[in-house]
Structure 1
Amino acid sequence: MVINRPARRFARRSKRAAVALSIAIAAASPVAAHAGGAEQPQAVQPQAATANASAAGAAGPAKPTAQPPTPAGGLESITQTAGAAAGYLYQGSTGLLWSAGDMLSSAYTGIGQALYETAYMMGVNKTPLPRPEFVDTATDHAQAPVMESAAPVVPTTAPAPVQETAQPTAASPAQETAAVPDSAAETAAAPPPEPAEEQVRAPLQPIPAGLLANLVYDRSARNADGSYFVPKGLQRMFEVRTERAAVSEVRAVRKLNGRVVPDPKAHGRVEAGLLGRFEAPETGIPVVGDEVRKGQILGMVVPVVGVVDRSSVRREIARLTNEIRITAESLEITKQFSFVPFREGKVIQLETRLQGLRQEREALLPLLKTQEYLRAPVDGVIASSTAVTGRVTQPGEMVFDIVNPKQLWVEVTVPDPTIAAEASPGSRASARTPEGQSMAVTYMGSGPSVRQQSIPMLFRIDNPPKGLRVGRPVAVLMPGEQAATRGMPVRRAAVAVGSDGIQQVWEQTEPETFVPRVVQTQDIDAQTVLVLNGVTEGARIVVRGTGLMTQLQ
């Protein structure tokens, strides 16, 4: 253990003090004893004198003589008590000092050891610790049979020869122990037994992913004629599905580009009506995406008036208040006198003036103490917000924009006025987003005005899909009045765009052979297209997994 230097110094000082006290007490004891012995003869002499006096008195009267004062008889007992007390004091003080020194030494030793170990664990103390050498006894026991027997090493798989060689060695243990030091060189030259099992068991290596894929599935390949070999296993992994193309006559549609807009009946904007500072309600400021109800308080606008304007307003309010009081007193006085000329007319005039003054004061009071509540006009979701606590809003500035995601429309602008004239309100159509979402729409009507040389047309989305956003582009496929077109209708997912940007479909000519065909298409609705050329009737067209088939190119 490591003891700190302050602990050592304190222990030494405690021992020195104990020794000095013991020496002082030991030196004081003989002095007290010597003082008691010197006073004892003086006490005997008075006793002898008293005896002689008594004898003389018996013989005859004697003259009175002056006797010396007798010393106190308790001096001897006081001396003994002082010596015993000094001995007890010596023993008690010595024991206390030694006990206190041992306790403080142990405390300092423990604290020093704890600090040393803590510094070592924290990495502050870099002093290396002594490490005793570890001796593995199991290794010695394992090598003992090899050192004792000079016979050749027998494999572990043959137990019978090992028992025969072990019998003579067990018969003479004394000879074996004596022969071990002499045959040290021979045992060192003997090779250790070779573990046969460890050499047979080789570590398993992971199988490469490419090799495993080649074992499970056959690879696709491009043939010399431009077709592609796709094995059945790869087709199942791609979930490839095909359909036969059939020729039919389909009425062509018109593709109109537009964007998603909110329904005017379910769309509302919350604007500030005066210049003021925006304050949050007790429920907190609603953020984008929160649902709100009609009439819900979204915020408050506290009017902001400058120092000069505020002073002017207060002065005007004070003036109006004074005039109201004077006019009211004049009205009461006029009503009390019955012989005032034109009394009824003056009363009516004063009442009218009093009412006007009160209205003027009520118009100025909101500038000082009232606030405007911003309420939601419709049910919906917060689409946009510019509300920040403490922000100064301007009159007419939009603070919240509320949209109902379950009521959305599509606004389309067409440059040809005949398209809007031929469309009848209530007709059904289909729409498609760039992400592939399909939806059914109903034509609502168009306006007579022209916007940027185009006519706006409105379509209501019957069941808006989840995640549809306001402002997203949408393509509306509206049936027209043109003659029917002959072709092969296929799913829109069957048409893919090749690396050269040309539309193509995949035709399955054999069970494991596919050929890409360049086609020309025309839109029918949001989910179907009409293939005009490039594929013969009855061909098997891939309608599922087309995107993965395109990756083979």
Structure 2
Amino acid sequence: MPIRFAAALGAGWLAAACLAGPAPAHEGHDHAAAPPLPATVAPRGEAVSEAFELVAVAHGGALILHLDRFSTNAPVLDARIEIETPEGSRWAAPAGEGTYRLPAPWLDRPGRHDILATVSAGETVDVLSLGVTVPSAAPALSGARPSAPDGVAGRLAGRDPALVATASGAFVLGMLAMLALRARRAGPALALLALGLTLAFVTRAQAQDGRADAPDRGAALLDAAPPPADSARRLPDGSLFVPKPTQRLLVLRTVLTAPATVRRRLELPGRIIPDPNASGVVQSSVGGRLSPPASGAFPHLGARVRRGEVLATVTPPIQAVDVSDMRQRQGELDQQIAIVERRVERYGRLAVTGAVARTQLDDAEAELAGLRDRRGALDRIRREPEALVAPVDGVIAQAAAVAGQMAVPGTLVFQIVDPDRLFVEALSFDAPGPAEEASARLPDGRSLDLAYRGAGLADRNQAVPVQFAILGGAGGLRLGQFVTVQAAAEGTRRGLALPRASVVRGAGGDVVYEHVGPERFVARAVRVEPLDAGRVLVSGGIGPGRRIVTEGAELLDQVR
């Protein structure tokens, strides 16, 4: 009987031990509702009109005002802002690029503060009303747990399912131990009783560990909370919150979209070529050894030269056979010159007496002059090199001159180009007619105005070459540089014209950012077509009257 009583007492104690104390959480985590996130944005208010948008931020006992143009998002630098405060009318002082500051001790009181601002900028005067809500101080967090209700229901409320299952198992083991003792089987009864005690103590230790770790983990979460500060971020709905100071740093600018009807455009690949009427090449006609000009140095790349200027000299090579022939020819000419000189001398004496006609003397003198010229030409061939002169005014674009180098006839030695007169040659598969409007876009984003000059009648790689003249100067361009030509074609298109910098290419297609609020931006998927070198035509995705970011869209796309 005492053994049965001990077994029953052990089973009851097991159940009580398992159900006593608070329920542990999994690995020390608390399943209670998470506290709200701390505010990371200073109290602010905003107002928008047809001319301005105004953002007021309460910070450090002052009211910071950010004033921008509504259509362009450009800061208003020369404005005067009068604020109606509980202390009367006050003027905000300029504090930077489109920023104004007003001491506002009344903002220390929590609650909503209505503000009336009168803005004067040039000839524009506007009245804007907004409200700034200052939150009250957050209540102190308490680490105490709410007490559970009395009774069995209260003891079981909030228990972990695994703990309840363990307690039930221990109770069942205790009952089995009692049955084993009743059947006079002490060995199995004691084994079941030991297993139940082990489960009870392990469960109790886990509960104590969970309660000990909970306060430390909560303190760590509170310490990790970020301090209140304004920062750009992507909101849960996908829009972007970008404070005005960040917009100033990113230089965000917008434009109001308006529908337009434009001509259809062709996008053609092209490259920079020289104007054939303002460029030239310098080549050797006979071949020979290159030498610097009389100045002592070849012109370098980029040097400006004048038409007729000597750029290099070429000394023709003379073979041994040619030297022998020249010497033989020189000997013959010297002999003939000596004979003719004696004849001229004799005719001169006889012409005085009238024995020889004057005409014979003149013929002899003419023959002597011709022989001397031929003899001098042979000497010059051996001594005088060929001069390579500049055919046009311009700049040395290519140079292949080295002292002592052998120049082959027809080899390019210099190329001269006028940098202010360049062409663009494009390849078109549609054979366009004379384009009234054309432009080219460089890889670095620059654009060039073009004028149509003509198209070829012979195909080149199944395409028609079309040439355009670059207007308005071509500084910084290089021959052979690739460009993209936008040429007008037949037909019209209707849509919204936007700068190319407005469109951001992403994984899902082309996107533009709409300025939906003073400090909010939303990405809009759009369908675009090429318009010219600096603009695109938006044919779908947004409508007219939207404020679209035109500068800084790439930076805005990086906000996370």
TM-score of the pair, normalised by structure 1: 0.54
The whole-number CA distance in structure 1 between the counterparts of 2:407 and 2:523 is: 62
Q: 1:301 to 1:245 in 2, by over 3 A?
A: same
Confirm or deny that 1:266 pairs with 2:282. Answer: no
Secondary structure of 1:320 counterpart: helix
State the distance in 2 between where 1:223 and 1:404 align.
Answer: 55
The question of whether the paired residues in 2 share the 8 Å contact of 1:227 and 1:515 is answered with: yes
- Identify the residue that residue 225 of structure 1 maps to in structure 2: 237
| 2:384 corresponds to 1:384 | no
Paired position in structure 2 for 1:535: 542
Amino acid at match of 2:393: D
Instruction: Quote the RMSD (CA, aligned, Å).
Output: 3.2
For residues 271 and 298 of structure 1, the distance between their equivalents in structure 2, rounded to whole angstroms, comes to 11
Identical aligned residues as a percent? 38
Structure 2 gap segments, 5+ residues each = 1-225
Give, as a single letter, the amino acid of the residue that structure 1 aligns with 2:231.
R
Q: Which residue of 2 aligns with 1:423?
A: 434
Partner of 2:36: none
Decide whether the 8 Å contact of 2:422 with 2:474 is kept in 1: no
Q: Which has the larger radius of gyration?
A: 1
For residues 511-550 of structure 1, the aligned pairs below 5 Å read 511-550=518-557
- The alpha carbon displacement at 1:368 in A equals 0.8
- Structure having the higher strand fraction is 2
How many aligned residue pairs are there? Answer: 333
Q: 2:477 aligns with which of 447, 451, 468?
A: 468
Letter in 1 for 2:443: P
**Any conservation in 1 of the 2:421–2:474 contact (CA below 8 Å)?**
no
How far is the alpha carbon of 1:537 from its aligned partner? 3.0
> Could you tell me which of 390, 403, 413 is aligned with 2:417?
403
Question: Which residue of 328, 332, 354 maps to 1:315?
Answer: 328
- Are the counterparts in 2 of residues 310 and 368 from structure 1 also a CA contact under 8 Å? no
Give 1:349 deviation, angstroms.
8.8
Q: Which amino acid aligns with 1:494?
A: S
Matches within 5 A, 1:457-496: 457-482=466-491, 484-496=492-504
Q: Tell me what 2:319 maps to.
A: 306
Paired position in structure 2 for 1:293? 306
Distance 1:278 1:490, change over 3 A: same
| Bigger Cα displacement from structure 2, 397-406 vs 306-315 | 306-315
Aligned AA for 1:541? I
Q: Check conservation: 1:271, 1:400, Cα contact below 8 A.
A: yes
Q: 1:396 to 1:321 in 2, by over 3 A?
A: farther
Separation (CA, whole Å) in 2 of partners of 1:412 and 1:475: 8
Q: Name the residue aligned to 1:451.
A: 460
Partner SS for 1:368? helix
Does structure 2 retain, via aligned residues, the 8 Å contact 1:431–1:438? Answer: yes
Distance 1:362 1:388, change over 3 A: same
Q: Which amino acid aligns with 1:423?
A: P
- How far residue 329 of structure 1 moved from its aligned partner, in angstroms, is 3.9
Maintained 8 Å contact 2:419/2:474: no
Corresponding residue SS for 2:467: strand
Secondary structure at the counterpart of residue 258 of structure 2: coil
| Secondary structure at the counterpart of residue 490 of structure 1 | strand
Q: Quote the offset at 1:298 in angstroms.
A: 1.7
- Post-superposition, which runs of at least 4 consecutive aligned residues in structure 1 deviate over 4 A? 214-217, 330-338, 342-360
State the match for 2:383 in structure 1.
Answer: 369
Contact 1:217 1:233 in 2 (8 A): no
- Contact 2:282–2:390, Cα closer than 8 Å, also in 1: yes
SS of residue in 2 equivalent to 1:264: coil
Three-state SS of the structure 2 residue aligned to 1:234 is helix
Secondary structure of 1:478's counterpart equals: strand
User: Following the alignment from structure 2 to structure 1, what is the Cα–Cα distance between the partners of residues 254 and 305?
Assistant: 48
Distance across 1 between alignment mates of 2:373 and 2:453: 49
Q: Is the 8 A contact 1:305 1:367 kept in 2?
A: no
The alignment partner of 1:235 has SS state of: helix
For residues 437 and 255 of structure 2, what CA distance do their matches in structure 1 show?
Answer: 28
Q: C-alpha separation between the residues in 2 aligned to 1:250 and 1:354?
A: 81
Q: CA deviation at 1:372?
A: 1.9
Given the two structures, how large is their TM-score scaled by the length of structure 2? 0.53
Offset of 1:288 from its aligned partner?
0.5
Stretch moving more, 366-375 or 398-407: 366-375
